[in-house]
Structure formats: structure tokens, C-alpha cells
Structure 1
């Protein structure tokens, strides 16, 4: 007689009360196990939300959220403060980070003290007389226009942005397009809000713009400048090919209006910077040094000149004729740290350096190349990740070391998520120092 396979129906219907009880017990155990997994997931998500909610939504959720990490209570206190002179915001938020059992004040004051004892070093007349254009560079560059921002007036500026701040360590200058209002506002609200860092260093931010094509955009920029007092606008059309003009405008303004700062940090507006790392780990290394550029350093004769006219960086054959690579060292422009003693020297150098539209080559290669004693160095380690999603995947993997200074971001949600991880990593680093 053929044996049939035992089905669930056989068990329930044909094997009596004992079999039914066994199946019922298995079913209940499985259900309990499933509920246990779901409960754990809910708790885990609640824990993550509690840990990051303050950092992601601190402007809209002014509450204090506590969480435990390694059995130490970390309190992130978010409190509203009235408008401060120069900030331009009606209601700003201040994050004060306190760690039970950790002397954050002592840790921070050392960093602040190191930076307060440094200041802008005046260059002598002899320093400027040594600035000369390298032989044959004028013919190689073969400029097609003048650097108009050397003498052009500013359309919008806050003359007191630097001078009004005591012990100003760093000015962040941001190359931004006229209509990137959301990017600028997001920076002000998250990683570039100077009120979050008062225990470790003083900085301000300055957004660099040219003129838009439409008056409606210009009116919005004027309103933005009046509100936040952190806009520098030049008298040139804001286009990709005019970024060199924007950079020279910055050199000029910094030479005139920002002599009391030690460092200049230049970034693009799609970059999020871990300023905790900058203040604690980077700036103290260069506090006593002069004529320093720290960046993604590209060596002379290594970067190809793009000759195909479909390239974003197309360079006509009349410029650097016969050259396949740029005959100068320079920096990738997405993030560069300068000591501020270089700004007047670079502005002076831009007066003798013929215009070239590729801004990274001109501003951070050709212009510095005419100044004696400039020292290039590179940020150490895996310091940049320009793909924001890759950076976030790394942050979420507890087994990986994601020691980024500069992170690319494509939008609001991504920036807020990156910012929350930066804050959380800083809190972890405080605990690590305690141990």
C-alpha cells in the first residue's frame, strides 16, 4: 500500500488530541518569537530616534533628550536664544553638550587657548616685492580677459563680520550659486551654526556670490543678506566660468576686512564639514605655522588638461599650448584650509597673474605659485567622502572607521542625517578620551 506524506491536515484531523496540542504549542512558540523580534526592532528604532532626534530636528523640537551610551548619561540640551547681533536669525538654537563624568570644559579650553594665542601675521613690504609671475607663464596662460574683481566694488557685504568677533579663529568662505538659498540656510541651521561650538572655537561663515540674471533673485539675496549678514556679493555675473573672479574677490575682501582671524576654510556649498574634528584635531597642528595650504594636493604635471569640448572642464588649445597636464601644483577646491597670512599675498599675486577660468588651477595653483614660501600639505587618512550615501552607510556600520572631515551632500535630508552622525561621533570621542 502506497504511503502518503503526512500533511498539516493529517496532524490536526487524523492523529488525535495529542497531535493537535503539539501543533498548537509550536504555533504559540513561533508567535511569541515573532513578537519578540518585532518588539526588539521597535525598541531599537526608538533608541535610534532618541539618540538622533535632537541633532536632526533641533530647530523644530526644542526639547532635551537623554540617552545612555556605555552606561554614561549624555545630555543634549537644546535651548532657544534671542537674536544675537550679527547672526541675523530671529530665533537661533544653542546646543550645549554635557557629559556626566567627563571634563569637556578642560578638553575644550585647551583647544580654544591654542587658537586664541595665534593671530594674523602682518606681511612686510619685502614679502610683496618678492611676488613675481613665473617665467613664460603669461604666454602659456594666454588670458582672454582681465581679473575684474581686483578693483570692482562689492554689491553686498558685512564690513564688520570678522572685526566684531573677539578671538575669532576661523572664517569659512563658501562658493555658492545665487539661487542656492536652501543649501545656505541648511548650513546655517546645522553644521555651520557657530553657536554650537562656543566651547571649542569661534568661527563665522561667509557666502560668496556674483550677480544673478534676474532681479527677483537679486531681491531675495538682498533680503537674505540683510537678515543673516553673511553674504559677500561681487559685481560680476555668477556663472561656473566666473568662479575665478569670485575667488579673487574673496582674497581682496579678506585682506581688507578680516585681519583678526588665523584660518580661512574654503568649501563648496554641497559639502558638510565635521567642524568638531577641525577645531579639536586639525587647527592646533597649524596654529603656530605660516603660509600653509592644507587640501587634496595635486602635484605639478599630474592632472590632465581636458581638451575635449564636451568636458565640463574643457580648456581651449590656445591656453597652455602644447601641454597635456597643468604645469603647476594646485588643490581640489571642495575643501581647503589656509593660514590667513596668505590672503594679502594671494590678492597681490592675482594682480600679476593672467586670468584663467578653471578656478582650482588659478586660485590654488597659479596664484600661490608666485608667492615664495607657500607650503602645501594634505589632510591625512580617509578624510573625505564626496558621496553622501556612501558616507552614511559607513557611519551606520559600527565596525568601520569613518573619520571624514568633508562629506558631500545632495539635499536636505542627507545633510541632516550626516550632521546627526557627526554630532554623535563627537560625543563618542569625548567618552573615548575619558577612557
Structure 2
């Protein structure tokens, strides 16, 4: 009897232990399921916050689709009323996946080149006096060494000519000043754009003091700094020469006819939106690392460049120059200045046009006479082989003008 009682107690204890195990198992399952649900919710929230951050940053590599250009997508920072009125933060869109570009054949799309914001809205915001909160990705932290800041002051300028030159090209600048750059009309002005070279500091100081037509910053003047020189040009026009109706950007080995250029401007009757020159379409990037024009897929992932103007002659109206100057800090830089300008223009929906009367001769014949120039219609001839060739070409041009008029 005593054994039977002990056996019953033992069975009762076993049932209680088994019941406790089931309860503990149920509690564990409940805790696991609850944790899984909470983790899923947290993950969704994390992804949503990440997406929001992407949409408010502009370190991305695409630009908005057409729907983005609606006015309601211009986001104003929250804060006081005065802050709302004085600042803007433009929405950005997700980046291209640069890990995949080696497997893609991408057609150029200005909306997929950084930054990914509405550039027309950006320009309107800046011109209306608002401060843009989006991060600048194309900084230009250089200081002026010479500004030629009185070149345009107090003048009614139809045209200002900006000549890109190397510090060492003293003779070519001198030849320009005595030929096509010897300006007698008060409606035109000329300056020379230089980077820095240590070997010519004192020479440039003297030249700038005598002629007062040197614009120079302290970046090193080289083939890789061509885009920096172009950015300097637009910044200078924006700051010191906003009264010029038209801007012409040329190389120092280009012969130009200012008379024919002014007649072309008058003939086109274009006051705004003009961006004209020697137009190139459907050009492909050089992927050969041995080429001086090499551009990697990481720098530029597309198969073709947008339409662009060759750097020896770029004519634009003041509004275009102003828009380009505003947009450039927000566009990923490229060392090829003319192609970079084409990209910025595409993002602003500015269409470059071909300009008649431009001759592009890359052979640089040693002959002093450039026989294939039609002086009656030429706007620009590239390239002049030497200062002596420029002077002979100028004399031929003057003789032709006498016969015409």
C-alpha cells in the first residue's frame, strides 16, 4: 500500500513537470514571434528612413524623371517663415549602381548624371535670392591672383571675349593684342584666362600691370586643369562682367573676326538662350588608358557624350552664362572642359547649336598663310600655328575687308 501511494505521488509530479515544460515552450514561442514581428517593423522603418535620406541628399548619380519637374517637388526647409522664404532644399533621386555599369550599355541621360536635382528649379531659386541647401559636389577653392576687374565696369558691352591661354604664351597674347584683339569699339572687351605657373610669376605681374587684361587663379595650369579654367571664366563673368550681352570663350591659337561675329549675332536675333559654336554629336569616350582624353567608366558610365561645342569657340548669351555658372557647383566635374560644359547644358535643358563660319584645322601647318580661310564669312579659325602666322592672317583679313567695303 505504501508503495502504491509513492507511485501515485511520483506520477503526479511527472504530470506537473510536463505541464510546466509545455507552458515554458509556449512562452518561448510567443517571445520569438513577437521579436520577429518587431524586428520586421523596425527593418521597414529603417528602410523608410534610409529612403528619406536618399531623397534629401544630393550625393547621388541620377537626376529626376519628368514628373520631378513639377513645382510641388521644390522642398523648402522647415523653420521660421523667413528661413522658408530664403532657403531651398531640392529633392534628389537614387543613385546609379556603379557596381553594375560594367555590364550595361547606357545611353546618355542628363537625369542620371550627378547631382540628381531639378537644375532649372535650382537656377530659379538662386536668381530669386534663395540659398540652396543641397551639398556642393564641384568645389572651386581657388583665389584670384589677377582679376582685371575694371574691364567691364561702366560700359555698355555687347560682347566680352575670354581667351584661354597658358602663362608661358606671352608672344601669342601680344600678337592677339595687336591683331584681332586690338579693340577700338567701346562695345567689346577682352581678357586672358590663366592658371598658375611658378616660373612666370614676375612676368605675369608685369604683363597684368601694363595691360590690365589678365584673369588668373592659383590652380596649376595644365591639361588636367582645363575645366578649372572654364569654371573660373564663368565665375568671373558672373561677378565682374554681368553687363555684357554676349560672352565668347576661345583658345589663344584661334583667329576670330569680331565684325563677322557681331553680324552673326544681329542676324540670328537671339537675345536669350544662345549657346553656339562648333557642334559635335554622338562622340564616344576614349576608354584607352594611354590616351590623354581617357575617361573611365566610373567617371562617365555612358556610351556617348551629349552634344557639345569644341573649346576653341563657344558663344553664349548672358543668361546662359549665368545659368551655367549657378549650376556648375552642383554637377560632378569631368576633366574634359568642353564635354563637361555639354553635360551641364543638358542638365539645364540648354541645347547647343552649330555656328556657321567656323574652320577647324588641326594640322597646324607651318606655313604663315592660312589659305583655307574665307575672310568674308569666317567667325573663327582654329588653329593658328604661331604668333607670326596670326599676324600674317590678320593682314590678309584687313586687305579682304578693304575690298569688301
TM-score range, shorter chain: 0.5 to 0.7
1:123-148: CA deviations, max 9, x gaps? xx9xx9999994321299xxxx9634
Q: Name 2:208's counterpart in structure 1.
A: 225
CA contact (8 A) 2:278 2:354 kept: yes
1:97-146: CA deviations, max 9, x gaps? xxxxxxxxxxxxxxxxxxxxxxxxxxxx9xx9999994321299xxxx96
In 1, Cα distance between equivalents of 2:264 and 2:149: 28
1:401-422: CA deviations, max 9, x gaps? 8732222211122111110111
In 2, Cα distance between equivalents of 1:298 and 1:131: 32
1:425 alignment partner, SS class: helix
2:191 to 206, 224, 245: 206
Q: Name 1:412's counterpart in structure 2.
A: 387
1:193 alignment partner, SS class: coil
TM-score normalized with structure 2 length: 0.63
1:55-80: CA deviations, max 9, x gaps? xxxxxxxxxxxxxxxxxxxxxxxxxx
Structure 2 runs not aligned, ≥5 long: 1-84, 94-109, 117-135
1:377 to 326, 346, 353: 353
In 2, Cα distance between equivalents of 1:246 and 1:316: 22
In 2, Cα distance between equivalents of 1:204 and 1:381: 22
Asked which structure has the greater CA Rg, the reply is 2
Matched, 1:283 2:272: no
Q: 1:131 to 1:163 in 2, by over 3 A?
A: farther
Return the offset for 1:386: 5.0
2:296 to 302, 306, 316: 316
In 1, Cα distance between equivalents of 2:347 and 2:293: 24
After TM superposition, list the pairs within 5 Å mapping 1:95-110 onto structure 2: none
- Stretches of 4+ aligned residues off by more than 3 angstroms: 128-134, 145-148, 381-391, 400-403
1:163 alignment partner, SS class: coil
Q: Name 2:159's counterpart in structure 1.
A: 170
1:155 to 137, 145, 148: 145
Q: Name 2:279's counterpart in structure 1.
A: 297
CA contact (8 A) 1:291 1:341 kept: yes
Return the offset for 1:385: 4.4
Aligned residues: 282
In 1, Cα distance between equivalents of 2:192 and 2:254: 13
CA contact (8 A) 2:159 2:187 kept: yes
Structure 1 runs not aligned, ≥5 long: 1-124, 431-435
Higher relative contact order (CA 8 A, sep 6+): 1
CA contact (8 A) 1:132 1:371 kept: no
1:425 to 395, 400, 403: 400
Return the offset for 1:382: 5.9
Return the offset for 1:167: 2.2
CA contact (8 A) 1:172 1:266 kept: yes
In 1, Cα distance between equivalents of 2:389 and 2:231: 31
In 2, Cα distance between equivalents of 1:423 and 1:406: 15
In 1, Cα distance between equivalents of 2:209 and 2:392: 29
2:241 to 225, 240, 258: 258
After TM superposition, list the pairs within 5 Å mapping 1:27-106 onto structure 2: none
What is the RMSD computed on CA atoms of the aligned residues?
3.0
Return the offset for 1:305: 0.6
Return the offset for 1:312: 2.1
Return the offset for 1:242: 0.8
Q: Name 1:325's counterpart in structure 2.
A: 304
Return the offset for 1:304: 1.4
Q: 1:260 to 1:230 in 2, by over 3 A?
A: same
